[in-house]
């Protein structure tokens, strides 16, 4: 088993575990070939052949440099971006058809855009703000714009109202230059949950107690909805009574806590309109864990995330809070016993302290500052460079490739960032093993030697030398032997294999090559320059031909590698339409994959997805090679419903050689 496949299997296990913790959102997107090619704008082919553009910096995933965004940023209202060229719009009404005015409407990036990056940031206490937010107008209408939609990215619409159940519509695709009309959204009437909170020992009412109703499918929140950080929360009145009128039907956890009292949770509670949904709580005496979070110098750390986790399996209490501007925190509602404290803040190494006993109110947590490294970059002739890009890569002993550190964006370096000796400082590194990837216009990508960051350890001093690298050239022809113009030729790790698993984990796959892409000219030639030495694979894509690959291309410093003539075959365009309950429907996911033929010399690994537009039309962007395929369509709002739809709509089709296009039409009926 090659290293790439081993890694994919590991990532699959991690992904399955992560998916089990997700609370809706994300999902697959329309076709996007593996990962975005890390190149600049593609340049036309000149007389001497195509020119490889300089690589663009890797984008910061999801939150990027905005880590640690505070509640004020989360509570922005009116940031609708309605002047954008695309987005999601709709209208909100109640059960009687009347417009819901002032409903809070949010548009979030889906978790599936980069699941692991979202999980890592959530684990570090980073809050992802909404892409856009607005309150519904007098007629219930709303517009949530997306400034710069990226291929393959999905979005999730969330609507909150004081009198209605929360509404969520995940897996929305925003097409460039188009506003998706979500239509008229009828909010369900909220469910009333009420009761009284009293002292378990005296029977006296507890005014000011907090009561929370939290849906059970929101165990782990990667992008918190403002106002729903801990579910729907209310305070008891002077008589200890509470009333929540906008609970969502389903299974939920209902909890109550108060100063001086323990937190009482009732899990897996059924919230239904036909039930009384009464929850009376008798809170026993409780304790808190409180204290302060500071740097090593004693300076308070504000907005740090503090998680308090019970170490007792009999009482699985979890309290999540944040420090104030003075670095102080208080976790209420604890019972006697040992707890674990996890403290996270931007710029610091995560602190993990245990056991901490309930009742400790002067806990002092000291956060260690993250480590740093200094790097000096020179050209082959020894001249110092003062303009380049730095990416941090994780290093695993005995691995030829370097992994991707998802939560750290690329760093653009210029002369003003260098010290007197020409070094650039890379900060924000947790303890671990790393290597720095250096790229600059006109040079091949290079790496520093691997280095280690340790708490309190010395700052590593690193060096990187950039050279011109190697070159790959070749010619692409069609079925009749004539040159094919406009073929996108892109580089991939030699061990990469195209399949749904690889597409899903593409951002996580380590590599030590130059990712670049060019298009062939009118003479069918291409030239990829400034490539880091190593083993490469090339992918050839064209709008009228099906995708092919060439492996085992060895790039050497200062030399040109010529690819044997590449023959491309015309593929089949797959398109069609979707009807749901007799009407054209958008946001329906279409999935197509090859049927493996027994005894085939080479397996057909083709797979692709698309999403229908507002008129119910879809086009699979990848051309299909001849063969047998299965294709299905499903509504994305509910994952269980989508599985049922896939089973009911599954069709098998055969694509013949030379077939220009093939149409498939789906009809989905609600049952």
pLDDT digits (tens, 9 = 90+) for 626-653: 999 999 999 987 788 899 999 999 999 9
Q: Which two tokens stand for residue 534?
A: 């190593």
| Position 507 confidence tier, pLDDT thresholds 50, 70, 90 | low
Give pLDDT, residue 68.
Answer: 37
- 3-21 and 115-123 helices cross at what angle (nearest 10)? 60
Residues of the chain with CATH 2.60.40.1120: 191-283, 287-367, 470-567
Mean predicted lDDT score pLDDT of the chain: 84
Topology classification of domain 572-668? Immunoglobulin-like (2.60.40)
Distance CA(403)–CA(180), nearest Å, equals 37
**Residue 79 or residue 486, greater confidence:** 486
Q: What is the pTM of this model?
A: 0.71
pLDDT digits (tens, 9 = 90+) for 264-292: 989 899 999 999 999 999 999 999 999 99
Is residue 416 pLDDT above 50, yes or no? Answer: yes
Q: Range with the lowest mean pLDDT among 185-199, 284-298, 306-320, 482-496?
A: 306-320
pLDDT digits (tens, 9 = 90+) for 347-375: 899 999 999 999 999 999 999 999 999 99
Is residue 62 pLDDT above 80, yes or no? Answer: no
**Residue 225 or residue 564, greater confidence:** 564
Map 41-84 to HEC letters: CCCCCECCECCCCCCCCCCCCCCHHHCCCCHHHHCCCCCCCCCC
Distance CA(107)–CA(180), nearest Å, equals 12
Is residue 202 pLDDT above 90, yes or no? Answer: yes
Class of the CATH-defined domain 287-367: mainly beta
Is residue 219 pLDDT above 80, yes or no? Answer: no
pLDDT digits (tens, 9 = 90+) for 26-54: 333 332 332 333 333 333 333 333 333 33
Which CATH architecture best describes the domain 470-567? Sandwich (2.60)
Topology classification of domain 191-283? Immunoglobulin-like (2.60.40)
Distance CA(15)–CA(6), nearest Å, equals 14
Which CATH architecture best describes the domain 371-458? Sandwich (2.60)
Average pLDDT of span 539-562 = 95
Instruction: Please answer whether residues 382 and 344 qualify as being in contact, where contact means their C-beta atoms are separated by less than 8 angstroms.
Output: no
Give pLDDT, residue 80.
Answer: 80
Give pLDDT, residue 614.
Answer: 87
Helix (H) or strand (E) holding 15: helix 3-21
Percent of the chain at pLDDT > 70 equals 83
Give pLDDT, residue 653.
Answer: 94
Residues of the chain with CATH 2.60.40.180: 572-668
Average pLDDT of span 511-524 = 93
Q: Range with the lowest mean pLDDT among 9-13, 224-228, 338-342, 548-552?
A: 9-13
Q: Which residues contact 518 (CB under 8 A, 6 or more apart)?
A: 42, 43, 45, 50, 51, 52, 53, 488, 489, 526, 527, 528
pLDDT digits (tens, 9 = 90+) for 437-478: 999 999 999 999 999 999 889 999 999 999 999 999 999 999
**Residue 504 or residue 662, greater confidence:** 662
**Residue with tokens 């607005």, as numbered in its chain:** 134
Topology classification of domain 59-189? Immunoglobulin-like (2.60.40)
**Residue 82 or residue 61, greater confidence:** 82
pLDDT digits (tens, 9 = 90+) for 524-543: 999 999 999 999 999 999 99
């Amino acid at each position: 088993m090659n290293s790439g496949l081993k890694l994919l299997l590991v990532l699959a296990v991690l992904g399955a575990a992560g998916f089990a913790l997700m609370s809706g959102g994300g999902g697959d997107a329309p076709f996007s070939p593996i990962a975005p090619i890390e190149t600049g704008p593609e340049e036309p082919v000149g007389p001497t052949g195509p020119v490889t553009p300089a690589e663009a910096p890797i984008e910061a995933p999801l939150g990027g440099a905005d880590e640690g965004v505070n509640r004020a940023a989360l509570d922005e209202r009116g940031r609708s971006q309605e002047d954008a060229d695309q987005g999601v719009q709709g209208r909100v009404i109640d059960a009687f058809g009347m417009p819901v005015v002032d409903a809070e409407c949010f548009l979030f990036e889906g978790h599936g855009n980069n699941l692991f990056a979202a999980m890592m940031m959530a684990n570090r206490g980073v809050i992802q703000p909404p892409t856009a937010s607005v309150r519904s107008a007098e007629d219930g209408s709303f517009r949530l714009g997306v400034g710069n939609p990226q291929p393959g990215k999905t979005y999730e619409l969330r609507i909150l109202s004081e009198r209605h159940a929360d509404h969520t519509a995940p897996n929305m695709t925003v097409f460039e230059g188009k506003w998706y009309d979500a239509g008229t959204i009828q909010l369900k009437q909220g469910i009333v949950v009420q009761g009284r909170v009293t002292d378990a020992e005296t029977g006296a009412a507890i005014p000011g107690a907090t009561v929370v109703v939290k849906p059970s499918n929101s165990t782990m929140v990667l992008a918190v909805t403002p106002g729903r950080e801990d579910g729907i929360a209310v305070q008891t009145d002077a008589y200890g009574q509470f009333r929540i009128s906008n609970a969502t039907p389903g299974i939920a956890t209902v909890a109550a806590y108060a100063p001086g009292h323990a937190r009482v949770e009732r899990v897996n509670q059924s919230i239904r309109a036909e039930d009384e949904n009464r929850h009376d709580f008798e809170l026993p005496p409780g304790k808190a864990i409180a204290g302060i979070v500071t740097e090593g110098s004693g300076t308070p750390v504000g907005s740090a995330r503090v998680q308090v986790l019970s170490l007792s399996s009999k009482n699985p209490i979890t309290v999540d809070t944040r420090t104030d501007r003075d670095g102080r925190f208080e976790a209420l509602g604890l019972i006697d016993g040992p707890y674990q404290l996890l403290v996270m803040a931007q710029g610091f190494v995560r602190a993990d302290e245990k056991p901490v006993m309930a009742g400790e109110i002067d806990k002092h947590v000291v956060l260690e500052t993250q480590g740093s490294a200094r790097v000096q970059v020179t050209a082959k002739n020894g001249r110092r460079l003062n303009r380049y890009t730095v990416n941090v890569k994780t290093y695993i002993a005995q691995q030829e490739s370097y992994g991707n550190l998802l939560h750290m964006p690329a760093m653009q370096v210029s002369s003003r960032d260098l010290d007197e000796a020409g070094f650039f400082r890379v900060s924000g590194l947790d303890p671990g093993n790393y290597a720095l990837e250096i790229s600059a216009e006109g040079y091949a990508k290079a790496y520093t030697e691997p280095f280690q960051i340790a708490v309190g350890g010395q700052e590593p001093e690193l060096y990187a030398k950039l050279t011109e690298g190697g070159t790959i050239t070749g010619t692409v022809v069609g079925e009749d032997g004539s040159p094919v113009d406009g073929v996108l030729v892109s580089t991939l790790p030699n061990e990469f294999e195209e399949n749904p698993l690889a597409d899903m984990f593409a951002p996580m796959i380590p590599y030590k090559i130059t990712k670049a892409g060019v298009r062939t000219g009118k003479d069918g030639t291409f030239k990829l320059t400034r490539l880091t030495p190593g083993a490469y694979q090339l992918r050839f894509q064209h709008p009228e031909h099906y995708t092919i690959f060439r492996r085992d291309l060895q790039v050497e410093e200062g030399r040109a590698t010529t690819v044997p003539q590449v023959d491309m075959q015309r593929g089949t365009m797959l398109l069609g339409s979707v009807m749901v309950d007799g009407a054209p429907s958008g946001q329906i996911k279409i999935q197509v994959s090859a049927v493996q033929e027994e005894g085939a010399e080479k397996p057909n690994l083709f797979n692709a997805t698309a999403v229908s537009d507002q008129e119910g039309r879809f086009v699979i962007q990848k051309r299909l090679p001849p063969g047998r395929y299965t294709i299905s369509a499903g509504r994305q709002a509910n994952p269980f419903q989508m599985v049922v739809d896939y089973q009911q709509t599954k069709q098998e089709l055969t694509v013949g050689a030379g077939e220009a296009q093939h149409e498939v039409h789906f009809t989905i009926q609600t049952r």
